[in-house]
Amino acid sequence: MIDTGHPPEQMRFQLSLRRRGISDARVLRAMEEVPRDRFVDPTDRGYAWRDSALPISCGQTISQPFVVAYMTEQLQLEPSHRVLELGTGSGYQAAVLAKLVRGVLSVERYRTLAETARARLEGLGLYNVEVMLGDGLDLGSNLGVFDRIIVTAAVETLPQSLIDRLDDGGILIAPVGPHHGVQTLIRMRKSGGTIERRELVAVRFVPALPGIAREL
């Protein structure tokens, strides 16, 4: 038997993504290169390569790997892109993005999550990610516009201020719907001042809340 250098559970993880329709070779490579077990709580590391969401600190979750891969693929990323992520969480999605683009700004409202994610990303040498503690739904005007925007928490409606941060030709992807229920993953593309909106798949995300968390 040929030794691939990957444990069986990681090989099954990759095969599962392909079987479920992830076909972008760059996305698959990024998913292979980012060690998901570094982004879960120590007690859950035995489940890190399963295709399921897992709990993390502050009542949040690390998303199901298929959802991470699917959202990443739908962004149609290029190496030159600058990406805004709202909801750093564990830092896993930011790490995958960092393998594919020039730079990522990831915004997190929980200080504990922001600091932990920053340390994980630096530990992996992913220095093209900036983790910022802040309110992703109310960002300062000094951040400019982005080629791509990904929202990793559920919003009931997409704020216009967020759409305005999308550069011409840019793509935004976000789960939109009730905070405590099933949402729809929405992809929006800006082109010449018009917005093309497409509904993708049903998902479940924790809610995006305003402000910086007072605790944690």
Contacts of 43 (CB under 8 A, 6+ apart): none
Report yes or no: 178 and 187 within 8 Å, Cβ to Cβ: no
Q: Cα–Cα distance between 173 and 186 in angstroms, integer?
A: 6
In the block, tokens 């290169």 appear at: 33
Please confirm, yes or no, whether 63 is among the known catalytic residues: yes
The residue annotated as part of the active site, out of 52, 63, 161, 191, is 63
Report yes or no: 199 and 186 within 8 Å, Cβ to Cβ: yes
- Annotate 44-110 with DSSP letters as a single string: GGGGTTSSS-EE-GGG-EEPPHHHHHHHHHHT---TT-EEEEE--TTSHHHHHHHTTSSEEEEEES-
Q: Which residues carry out catalysis? A: 63
